[in-house]
Structure 1
Amino acid sequence: DVRGKVGIDITPGVFELVGRAYGTLVRRKGGRRVALGMDNRATSPPLKEAFGEGVLSTGLEMVDIGVNHTPLLYFATAHWKLDGGATVTGSHNPVSDNGVKMVHAGAAPLTEDEIQGLLATIRAGDFEQGRGTRTLRDPREEYFGAITSSVKLARPLKVMVDAGNGIAGSFAPELLRRLGCEVVELYCESDGTFPNHLPDPEMEENVRDLIARVRQVRADIGIAFDGDADRMGVVDERGRRHEADLVLALLARDLLQRHPGAKILFDVKCSQVLVDDIRAHGGEPVMWKTGHSHLKRKMREDGILLGGEVSGHLFFGENWYGVDDGILAACKFIELCSRSPAPVSSHFDTLPHLYNTPELKAPCADDRKFELVAELARHFKGRYETVDIDGARILFPDGWGLIRASNTNPYLTLRFEGRSQAAVDEMKRVVYDALRRYPFVTLPS
């Protein structure tokens, strides 16, 4: 991804250059046609136009899919067998931000080296030249048809949808109604200023209204989406919010009935409950680096059919394109719940309860955070079993603690999970004591 503050990091001039660099990358891989879309932010249209002009200047044909959610861009790229695609989106970030997500053929993510290569191409001014053509095409009905042909509800559910005024509100309610759901909408009006709350279901404060409304209207389930609909969150009929790693555990049980012994992919921030439940149902848990591009590449490399992150990204490779799609995830989870007359909460009640913290953020300068985490990984490896594929996941006697550097922001991510609150508190104490040796780190409360 390329992202930043509009008017500071992100301008139409910058995006025209990024479009030229991306078009050059696609051309030099032998590509001819790419898709381009955008989300509903007020700053997206001029950025999309500038990026598109850059792409066209390299001689590529461009299929303009208009206002879209990010998984729809992935779908169009893969389903139409294009050579790449891009969508201008700020995702769940503040209104002042924007960015662009770019993919190869099959909606395969760009690597970190390729993203840096775009910058090198811009600095060198080494662009392909040509004059491409723009055509308009809407993938909406094909996307809806692909999902309604494979997702079948055993009984209708009453679903409360909170889009946070993001682009999911223009797609998810209609699709869920086509599947047979009774849908009650909350903040589904498209408004890129996000007047009610930021569209980020990972943050508990952003689903408080959804929790209240689910109880009020006696919905079977509440679904919250992030700004570009590649992530989702679940609230049960009792008003309990559930982390996405537990949603993944339930989806994994369902997949493992069809694919015994299958690998299930997840990031280092996910609960031990997920790991244990995958094993208990005959699957093979595969822990990997946090970041949607990392997980998508791993799914493709290893032929994995299902994956997810605690942030709400859920990835589907079974009869789909190995990409994250919050709307598809909602449909599949509702389908799973419809097969039983029991309430949604009962599915989560089959999973054990552990004590955990939310994701804690410790501000730390970008130029020091990775070296610091590497030092701490070495430190803790001398005392505990430590998984270091992405930061340090320290396995304590009664739980685990995680320290990792954010891929996109100047902070460390911390998370703890244990068999008791006392265990969580003790693990935090040990990790915080280690972090206090670094005065440039601000510890969260």
Structure 2
Amino acid sequence: MPSSDAVDLSALIKAYDVRGVVPEELNADVARAIGAAFADVVAVPEGASSVVIGHDMRPSGPELVEAFADGIAGRGVDVVLIGLCSTDGLYFASGSLATPGAMFTASHNPAQYNGIKLCRAGARPVGQDTGLARVRELAGEYLGTSVPAVADDERGTVSERDMLAEYAAFLRSLVDLSGIRPLKVVVDAGNGMGGFTVPAVLGTGAGLPELPLDVVPLYFELDGTFPNHEANPLEPANLRDLQAAVVEHGADLGLAFDGDADRCFVVDENGDPVSPSAITALVGLREVAREQAAGHATPTVIHNLITSRVVPDLLTAAGARTVRTRVGHSFIKAQMAENEAVFGGEHSAHYYFRDFFFADTGMLAALHVLAALGGQPHPLSALAEVYQPYVASGEINSRVASVKAARARVVEAYVTQQGAGPVEVDELDGLTVSHWDGHPRWWFNLRASNTEPLLRLNVEAADEDIMEKVRDDVLALVRQGES
């Protein structure tokens, strides 16, 4: 039972990570308490002798890291500081050093935010049900009373280690680009950590051999105030500079990374976005073929339920087993490990690899795209066409007075009355209604937001007209009577 003096950290420490405004919600005192709690809940019970910590380019990062490290060392656990890194760089450090880790980042959130992504040794996730709830409770207790510390002679040590070169070499070892045709690639780092990792992985910044790549950099200067655009490529407006630059430079493709560079978005030579579902299919097929060549008959690939049906269609046809999961990285990571999956992908452009500690890395996905494109003569638009045969609406949010009532109207029309004909229905994550085995082919998913009175709609169909009809029909039901 938490102490009556405990501080409520539920607004800061969410289901999967820590994220809040600095210094109102997240400051040095809070970071120190969370560090001590992380040591007590994760590091010490695991028998870990150290915790590895990295941070992105946000100005508040170094002070928060110092306090967090002090909280850990105060519990008798050593700290290894790796300094500036991407989130997948921290996962690499946790995996290769076999130690718990903490990444200070707020991903694509605005400059006034910071946060912490925590993991167990081997980059295994720490979420609501795997220790984060207890970290939140214990950190709140420590803030309400005092942060405990061992005697001075028992304190953990704090050391520094640069792991960028090791990270870059490890990724290069997983995908061979040395024999591809020369490619010109524009990379928009959005002033985020891609500006730090791309020169090391795709260039010679970490001392690796030169690749047949002509990299045109956009916004590589590390700046946590994001002066050019938000580092969130999921928003179409944040891709415009990249799209224009690809066309201007006559590039073969463009890559965009989010703030902590764990997600990667791709545009083709015409500046048109290649959907994350298409990238999931492309990379998944490459990983499946590699596994089969190594004698593994039926590799497993994970995808969430919002990804295009092209993913299970193509992968199943290639002899893979596919597993459909709920939306969210914790679900994907859990299923990746449980199924020993070789690869996993999400519609949000998170890509997970067994050979990268079952963790997500946008950079490794980018290497696969470059290898696939450079290993054949056709442009990316032609290569991607086979992976994008269907038409999707993208995610559409509707603010409603009653999520329950709006959902009920959709169920009545599409399930109870079955006005659209026989459909398949499941509630793995929200409401999914599928007419994929009938004619015309379509499906939609309607999910409620966890934090707002919003319903999120995704529709996919075999052609544009059907997609638009289903989209408009469902939206009319959801928004019926709403002002």
The SS at the match of 2:202 is helix
In structure 1, the residue matched to 2:22 is: 6
Q: How far apart are the structure 2 equivalents of 1:244 and 1:203?
A: 13
The answer as to whether partners of 2:231 and 2:257 remain within 8 angstroms in 1 is: yes
Give the aligned residue type for 1:424. Answer: M
Question: Is 1:389 matched with 2:436?
Answer: no
Say if 1:377 and 1:85 are closer, same or farther in 2 by CA, change over 3 A.
farther
In structure 2, the residue matched to 1:109 is: 125
Say if 1:322 and 1:433 are closer, same or farther in 2 by CA, change over 3 A.
same
1:182 CA drift (Å): 1.3
1:9 CA drift (Å): 2.6
Q: How far apart are the structure 1 equivalents of 2:86 and 2:388?
A: 34
Give CA-to-partner distance per residue, 1:192-212, whole Å, 9 cap, x none. 111111111222111111111
In structure 1, the residue matched to 2:65 is: 48
Say if 1:389 and 1:230 are closer, same or farther in 2 by CA, change over 3 A.
same
Identify the range of structure 1 (9-18 vs 71-80) with the bigger mean alpha-carbon deviation: 9-18
In structure 2, the residue matched to 1:296 is: 333
Q: How far apart are the structure 2 equivalents of 1:378 and 1:348?
A: 35
In structure 1, the residue matched to 2:161 is: 137
In structure 2, the residue matched to 1:209 is: 241
State which of 170, 176, 179 in structure 1 corresponds to 2:202.
Answer: 176
Give the gaps of 5 or more residues in structure 1. none
1:419 CA drift (Å): 2.2
Aligned sequence identity (%) = 34
Q: How far apart are the structure 2 equivalents of 1:408 and 1:164?
A: 27
Identify the range of structure 1 (331-340 vs 275-284) with the bigger mean alpha-carbon deviation: 275-284
The SS at the match of 1:63 is strand
Q: How far apart are the structure 1 equivalents of 2:481 and 2:49?
A: 50
Identify the range of structure 1 (275-284 vs 125-134) with the bigger mean alpha-carbon deviation: 125-134
In structure 2, the residue matched to 1:404 is: 447
Question: Is 1:147 matched with 2:171?
Answer: yes
Q: How far apart are the structure 1 equivalents of 2:450 and 2:96?
A: 29
1:387 CA drift (Å): 2.7
The answer as to whether partners of 1:74 and 1:85 remain within 8 angstroms in 2 is: yes
1:38 CA drift (Å): 0.6
In structure 1, the residue matched to 2:89 is: 72
The answer as to whether partners of 1:373 and 1:392 remain within 8 angstroms in 2 is: no
1:410 CA drift (Å): 6.2
The SS at the match of 1:190 is coil
Give the aligned residue type for 1:333. Answer: V
Say if 1:164 and 1:364 are closer, same or farther in 2 by CA, change over 3 A.
farther
The answer as to whether partners of 1:59 and 1:128 remain within 8 angstroms in 2 is: no
State which of 157, 165, 186 in structure 1 corresponds to 2:218.
Answer: 186
State which of 33, 36, 47 in structure 1 corresponds to 2:50.
Answer: 33
Q: How far apart are the structure 2 equivalents of 1:171 and 1:400?
A: 38
1:431 CA drift (Å): 2.8
Say if 1:407 and 1:106 are closer, same or farther in 2 by CA, change over 3 A.
farther
Q: How far apart are the structure 2 equivalents of 1:284 and 1:409?
A: 35
Q: How far apart are the structure 1 equivalents of 2:90 and 2:409?
A: 39
In structure 2, the residue matched to 1:271 is: 308
Give the gaps of 5 or more residues in structure 2. 1-16, 204-209, 293-297
In structure 1, the residue matched to 2:3 is: none
1:400 CA drift (Å): 1.3
The SS at the match of 1:171 is helix
In structure 1, the residue matched to 2:468 is: 425
Q: How far apart are the structure 2 equivalents of 1:321 and 1:404?
A: 30
The answer as to whether partners of 1:199 and 1:227 remain within 8 angstroms in 2 is: yes
- Max Rg structure: 2
Q: How far apart are the structure 1 equivalents of 2:453 and 2:137?
A: 23
The SS at the match of 2:315 is helix
Q: How far apart are the structure 2 equivalents of 1:373 and 1:284?
A: 35
In structure 1, the residue matched to 2:186 is: 160
Identify the range of structure 1 (256-265 vs 118-127) with the bigger mean alpha-carbon deviation: 118-127
Please give the TM-score of this superposition, normalised by the length of structure 2.
0.84
1:388 CA drift (Å): 1.7
1:377 CA drift (Å): 9.0
Give CA-to-partner distance per residue, 1:389-419, whole Å, 9 cap, x none. 2222221353111112345666432211112
Say if 1:392 and 1:211 are closer, same or farther in 2 by CA, change over 3 A.
same
The answer as to whether partners of 2:122 and 2:357 remain within 8 angstroms in 1 is: yes
In structure 2, the residue matched to 1:235 is: 267
The SS at the match of 1:149 is helix
In structure 2, the residue matched to 1:122 is: 139
1:124 CA drift (Å): 3.9
Give the aligned residue type for 2:183. Answer: L
Give CA-to-partner distance per residue, 1:275-328, whole Å, 9 cap, x none. 2122222222211011112211110011001011111101111x3311101112
Identify the range of structure 1 (64-73 vs 409-418) with the bigger mean alpha-carbon deviation: 409-418
In structure 2, the residue matched to 1:342 is: 378
The answer as to whether partners of 2:288 and 2:342 remain within 8 angstroms in 1 is: no
Give CA-to-partner distance per residue, 1:64-115, whole Å, 9 cap, x none. 0101110010000110121x00011010112222210000011000131222
Question: Is 1:310 matched with 2:326?
Answer: no
Please give the TM-score of this superposition, normalised by the length of structure 1.
0.91
